[in-house]
Amino acid sequence: MKTVVLAGGFATRLRPLSCSRPKTLFPIVNKPLLQWIFEELAVNDVKEVILAVNTLTQFHIRQQKLPKYGLKIKYAIDPPKMPLGTAGPIKNTEKIVGHDEPFVVLNGDILTSINYKQLMDTHIKTKALATIALCEVDDPCRYGVAELEKGNRIKSFIEKPAKGQAPTNFINAGAYILSPKVFDYIPRGKQCSIEREVFPLLAKEQKLFGHMFNGLWMDIGKPEEYLLTNKIILDRLISANKIKIFKNVKAEMPVAIDRHVGIGKKTVVGPYAVLGKNVVIGDNVQICNSVVFPDAKIGDNTTVSGAIIGEGAIVGKNVQVNNGCIIADQAKIGDNVNLIEDFAVCPAKEVSETILKRNIIC
């Protein structure tokens, strides 16, 4: 099986953390999301992955030198300064994918345990042109929504319906099987959305099918979803006994602590804290429900709760980093600062005074 992973776009909802890294490289429990995706694809008998990206994302991915788990990795690059949307980049892979057999397409910002072989079986059985993996959610409005008929044929597909307008709670999980014929539905070198322009057309032609699945499914598109994904993976790792318990650290499990992390006296880590490589934490720090990216430093007597601290960021002493705060890469928070909930600091910016108004420092 060949798989196209869509990993371009702007990731606006994850700014300012996404100013300096693509969504697909956000660490989930200290491992880039794309590495989780590669691992999962390799156990699903996928042999070749085509990353549909822009040049900047390609640069970041290459720099990471991710393990490939035996997969052959190729790139299909969006034209300069012209993001192609979600269908344009698929068209851009036509030469690499070829016309021999159906292939998998995956959004690069989801973590899932979908069984791609089963998805492919459904696709072949129904003779569909496209088969969408569907899962059920409470609020479908920020996703693509499918209305199903007998035999799992999708009668209509509506991308991000207005509140109260979604016909069902079955949403596009961001994983499909496409037959090569679908290439003919997408214009070459133009921006095109598979969800808004191609799926509705295929539904009308009765060639679009759904495949319901249960199991792990997370979209890391928003900061709260990113934190929740880390929590869920921590829970899974702890129940599978795959988390190291550290001696000499006051840890309220589950927590994950990467290599070369320094933690001071009387500091409590967790529950639900992820500390990246080379992180240094002072004395008497409380850190819970948070992710700290590699090389960040947190000073004595500081509290971090429900926040994301970017790579190489420096948080001073006696600081309060409250729920929903995002401190982007290399940003600096001075001593004795209290950051109000949901406050965001852009990369390399400094904050030296307490912030009581909801805002973003850029």
Q: Hey, which residues does 263 pair with through a beta bridge?
A: 281
Q: Hey, which residues does 97 pair with through a beta bridge?
A: none
Q: What are phi and psi of 117, to 5 degrees?
A: -65, -40
Residues 4-43 that bind ligand GDD (CB under 6 A): 6-9, 23
Choice between 4 and 298, CB closer to Mg ion: 4
What is the closest distance, in whole angstroms, from the C-beta atom of residue 145 to ligand GDD in the complex?
A: 8
Per-residue tokens: 16: 């300012």
- Which of Mg ion, ligand GDD, none does residue 86 bind to, with CB < 5 to 8 Å depending on kind? ligand GDD
Are 14 and 25 in contact by the 8 Å Cβ rule? The answer is: no
Residues 310-339 that bind Mg ion (CB under 5 A): none
- Look-up: residue for tokens 């890294």? 21
Choice between 134 and 304, CB closer to Mg ion: 134
Task: Provide the mask over 206-235, with x wherever binding to Mg ion is found by CB under 5 A and - wherever it is not.
Answer: -------------x-x--------------
Using rule CB under 6 A, residue 119 touches ligand GDD: no
- Which of ligand GDD, Mg ion, none does residue 304 bind to, with CB < 5 to 8 Å depending on kind? none
HEC profile of 10-38: CCHHHCCHHHCCCHHHCEECCEEHHHHHH
What is the closest distance, in whole angstroms, from the C-beta atom of residue 221 to Mg ion in the complex?
A: 4
Using rule CB under 6 A, residue 108 touches ligand GDD: yes
Where does this chain touch ligand GDD (CB under 6 A) — which range of 63-71, 82-90, 121-129, 351-359? 82-90
For 100-116, letters b (16+ CB in 10 Å) and e give eebbbbbbbbbbbebbb
Distance CA 20, CA 40 (A): 26
Q: Which residues contact 196 (CB under 8 A, 6 or more apart)?
A: 159
DSSP letters spanning 145-200: EEEE-GGGBEEEEEESPPTT--S-SEEEEEEEEE-GGGGGGS-TTS---IIIIIHH
- Which of Mg ion, ligand GDD, none does residue 282 bind to, with CB < 5 to 8 Å depending on kind? none
Using rule CB under 5 A, residue 295 touches Mg ion: no
Choice between 84 and 314, CB closer to ligand GDD: 84
Choice between 263 and 326, CB closer to Mg ion: 326
DSSP, res 340: P
Where does this chain touch ligand GDD (CB under 6 A) — which range of 3-11, 34-42, 96-104, 115-123? 3-11
- The single residue among 3, 37, 40, 78 that binds ligand GDD, judged by CB under 6 A, is 78
Residues 142-161 that bind ligand GDD (CB under 6 A): 143-144, 159
What is the closest distance, in whole angstroms, from the C-beta atom of residue 302 to Mg ion in the complex?
A: 32
Choice between 221 and 299, CB closer to Mg ion: 221
- Which of ligand GDD, Mg ion, none does residue 52 bind to, with CB < 5 to 8 Å depending on kind? ligand GDD
Sheet of 273-275, strand order: 255-257, 273-275, 290-292, 308-309, 326-327, 344-345, 360-361
- The residues binding ligand GDD (CB under 6 A) are 6-9, 23, 52-53, 78, 83-86, 89, 107-110, 143-144, 159, 171-172, 174, 195, 219, 221
